[in-house]
Amino acid sequence: MNFIKVKNLNFTYKNNGFKLNNINFEIEKGEIAALIGPNGAGKTTVSKILCGIIENFSGVIWVNEKNIKELSAIEKAKKISYIPQIFEGLFDYTVEEIIFMGRRPFSNSIGFFSENDKKIVKDLLIKFNLLEKKDKKFFMLSGGEKRIVLIARAICQNSDFIILDEPLAYLDILHQIELVNILNELKGNGKTILLVLHDINLASEICDKIILLNNGNIIKSGKINEVLNKNLIKNIYKINNFKIGKNPVTNKTNIFIFYKNKTKGGKR
């Protein structure tokens, strides 16, 4: 059986009527998969259902042969970790405090941590070069550092399935590369990863599988080359000014967009 299996997933938002219609897909163990699609396609909704934030869906989701509807909050947190795009916390905590929260599923509601928990957190602080910043307030960090702290927290959860919502948003090129390296390393350690992405080329470069959503439906899922074809992109994104080609360095399929200059004869 596949590591992640989503079968006949249906869900409707009560407030605006947006629907997910009969979503089916699978992800193999150790794969990096991407949910892509236009704004409002339902990517974030699917990811929130998978990580247990939205619970009143119909259909079945198996993670490592366990139906997630039958798992308690703590059991879910041990199997699936989620890294949101935006951190919505109101009160500030230190880097170390935030990372420790990833050990909550193994600890208790008072937060008494074992020596093992402390060692795991310390090793991660060292691994991600955060040891000197461990007492720094999270809100004071740069966007890239924040993302890395949240990834460290997700690794603390020791789950085999990690979901990241737009992990590279707001990051400069250096931090993008750093983050992709981390993702590849996690994959190397046998973790299964699902990314919610807008950047199709990034999905093509680092993902084993693409799941293309539009209007709450899965249009296609599979290998990059199978999904990325000209007509599909044209119909779904409603654009014309693009070409599909190969990245000259990696030889992966990419989309090249060209912007038409509307003000003819203008200096720009």
Residues that bind other proteins (CB under 8 A): 48, 51-53, 56, 72-74, 76-78, 80-82, 84, 87-94, 97, 101-102, 104-105, 107-111, 157
Q: Nearer to other proteins by C-beta: 51 or 227? A: 51
CB-based contact 117:100 (threshold 8 Å) = yes
- Residue 21's closest CA among 33, 34, 8, 2? 8
Most distant pair of Cα atoms in the chain: their distance = 69
Specify the DSSP class assigned to residue 132. Answer: G
Taking the complex as a whole, the smallest distance from the CB of residue 98 to other proteins amounts, in Å, to 8
Taking the complex as a whole, the smallest distance from the CB of residue 8 to other proteins amounts, in Å, to 23
Residue 22: in which H helix or E strand, if any?
A: strand 19-27
Q: For residue 42, what are its two tokens? A: 């339902």
CB-based contact 74:26 (threshold 8 Å) = no
CB-based contact 14:63 (threshold 8 Å) = no
Q: Nearer to other proteins by C-beta: 154 or 227? A: 154
Q: Nearer to other proteins by C-beta: 51 or 228? A: 51
Taking the complex as a whole, the smallest distance from the CB of residue 162 to other proteins amounts, in Å, to 11
Taking the complex as a whole, the smallest distance from the CB of residue 67 to other proteins amounts, in Å, to 18
Q: Nearer to other proteins by C-beta: 76 or 187? A: 76
Taking the complex as a whole, the smallest distance from the CB of residue 23 to other proteins amounts, in Å, to 20
Q: Nearer to other proteins by C-beta: 73 or 177? A: 73
CA distance 82 to 164: 6
